[in-house]
Structure 1
Amino acid sequence: MNVLYPYVHAGGKRMILFSNRRALLEQQRRQTQGTDATCMICQKLEYDFNHGRKAIEWVERNFDYIIIDEAHYLFQDALFNRNTEIMLDMVEQLQESKVIVLMSATAGLLKKYFVGKIKKTYHVSADYSYIKTVYCYTTPDSVNKILNEVPLGEKVVMFGDNKKRLRTLHREYPDSEYLNSGNKDESLAFRQITQNECFSCQMLFTTKVLDNGVNLKDKAIKHIIIEQTDMVEFMQCLGRKRVQSPDDTITLYFLNSVFSIAGRYKDLKRDLVIVQQYLNARASGYEQGFWKINRTEYIPLMFDNSHHLVKPAYYKTLSDCAFYRDILNKKTSLVQ
């Protein structure tokens, strides 16, 4: 924003900045105060498009520079938000007539999908020297031992995907908050993070509502616990801590469960078999016959309610399946 916006403004151009999470949107709105840059959450454009408003045409008509922050969202959220395809279509439709900037610390799938179409790549090397120690645990109950040994004056952020378990941990530790997408509007920690980039409680138990884009600038955060097996989510959670000085270090703990990875891999393989059957039927002109046979069977999340194969969801599933296969075959590891 500090570099690009003055250039855009000096040239008499307009910029729109998309974000994928409410917390990130609020931080960006503060950063753009006093400018004519427009901030919008991706889901707002998707909603407008689905309700008959010419959302993509509106962007095309009003803006010259389209910035999508945390652009891995296009693929990362596609399995539970099939509308990310709208944003992906917008990028493909406007890439020749507009300047489109895709920003992400986890841009692997973006680069693969848009191979040959990206005109310029800017790379910032990751520096993980602030991670003092890394611990791996294999049973969820180990978290209590970790939390019980955290000294007073040091803070913890735990990213998990089991809401019931996070709520239980919140009840067990008085100086804590539990944060998810459903309670963020009433959460003191969420307001503090969006306004001041820090929180006052000692322990924050959160879902991936904070997994990308949000800054946590607090030297008291000394412990980060991550239980996501998805590599993009893992790296995004780790990146929430913004290092303030050379002595601003953390201890990282992560759950490494081969059983959950094996189960996820099995589910993805099953889903891809069904999708391949669909693709074969479509190529042979028997798409309707496929749905007639399978209408009461299990349908993978890669399809929307209209039996449309959502391309970013399919692309993400192919990538995840290959990644989990390599972990199980010991060709790669969860932490690379």
Structure 2
Amino acid sequence: MINETSKIRICMSATADAMIAFLKYKNIKHESYSIPHDYSHIKELIFYQNDKVLEKFLRQIPKNHKAICFTKSSAKAFKLHDTFKNSMFVCSPSGTAPEKKHMDKEKVSKMLIDEKFDEQFVFSTSTLDNGINLKDKLIKYVIVDIMDIDVLIQCLG
């Protein structure tokens, strides 16, 4: 894309800071536009210290509400999926995690097509943070234990 200098390229991202820094570093002429962030849909932020607190919180979520939980570890995501039966587990199908064999690819495909999931919980690695939409009014909680701010923003997106 960068070597294609005879054409106009348009890049859009909610997390463009790294790309802009790269373009500046390489002295590549570019224009940047931004739309103000709107986080008004976020009612509150809650922080937790350990997995036991997380599990207790998840058990308190009403049955008619859904949650998606992004974790940095496929082992943790699978452990939570194993603990909470009304859930789906998602990790990279091409990664090296041994847990990937437990992923129900048909359910994941259905979720991507329908833009919602049937289970109460989805436990996923950040593999699910880019390029998908979930448009389900029952999703009331997004839980993220990933510290990278760009990945966090993508997960909340």
Give TM-score, length-normalised by structure 1.
Answer: 0.42
| Distance in 1 of aligned mates of 2:29 and 2:65 | 43
Per the alignment, residue 102 of structure 1 pairs with 11
| Distance in 1 of aligned mates of 2:55 and 2:92 | 24
Per the alignment, residue 93 of structure 1 pairs with 3
| Paired residue type of 2:39 | Y
1:212 aligns with 2:130: yes
Which of the residues 122, 127, 132 maps onto 2:43? 132
Per the alignment, residue 21 of structure 2 pairs with 112
Deviation at 1:146, TM superposition (A): 1.0
SS at match of 2:85: coil
State how 1:185-196 maps to structure 2 within 5 Å. 186-196=104-114
1:147 aligns with 2:65: no
State how 1:210-249 maps to structure 2 within 5 Å. 210-239=128-157
Residue by residue, what CA displacement relative to the aligned partner does 1:184-218 show, whole Å, maximum 9, x if unpaired?
A: 98424321232111111100000111111211111
Per the alignment, residue 97 of structure 2 pairs with none
SS at match of 1:135: coil
| Distance in 1 of aligned mates of 2:43 and 2:88 | 25
Larger radius of gyration: 1
The structure with the greater share of residues assigned to helix is: 1
Change (3 A) 1:171 1:192: same
SS at match of 1:141: helix
Deviation at 1:100, TM superposition (A): 1.1
| Distance in 1 of aligned mates of 2:82 and 2:21 | 43
| Distance in 1 of aligned mates of 2:35 and 2:109 | 30
Structure 1: runs of 5 or more not aligned: 1-90, 240-336
Residue by residue, what CA displacement relative to the aligned partner does 1:74-107 show, whole Å, maximum 9, x if unpaired?
A: xxxxxxxxxxxxxxxxx3311x211211111001
Q: Which runs of 4+ in 1 moved over 6 A?
A: none
Give TM-score, length-normalised by structure 2.
Answer: 0.86
| Distance in 2 of aligned mates of 1:144 and 1:154 | 16
1:123 aligns with 2:41: no
| Distance in 1 of aligned mates of 2:2 and 2:84 | 48
